[in-house]
Amino acid sequence: MTHTFDEKLTCEGIIGDGCGGGRFFTIQESKLLVYDPQSEMLKVLLENIHMPKSIRKKACVIYIECENEKIEFDLSLLKRTV
């Protein structure tokens, strides 16, 4: 199965850079999703993301910039931290 993701709203977890190495993190339909290309599993991590502009990952934190807010999602805790 091949998945196509919006490049501006997708980032890749780098192996050795904390949590989620080798996985893709993307925003679709107001949801933060994680895709594992090895197992082809797609999982919802967070919902209610409104007007996202960009996404990036550093270590175990996903940073999402939206029109009206900035979201931080901690992958080690699997919850929103801000």
- Average pLDDT over the chain reads 91
Question: Using one digit for the tens of pLDDT, what is the confidence trace for 33-53?
Answer: 999 999 999 999 999 999 999
Q: Where does residue 10 rank: exposed (0-12), middle (13-18), buried (19+ CB within 10 A)?
A: middle
Q: What is the pTM of this model?
A: 0.89
Residue 1: the pLDDT is 42
Decide if pLDDT at 2 tops 70. Answer: no
Three-class DSSP category at 8: helix
Task: Please state the rounded mean pLDDT for residues 4-17.
Answer: 86
Question: CB neighbours of 29 closer than 8 A, spacing ≥ 6?
Answer: none
**7-80, which class in CATH?**
mainly beta
Neighbours of 46 (CB within 10 A): 18
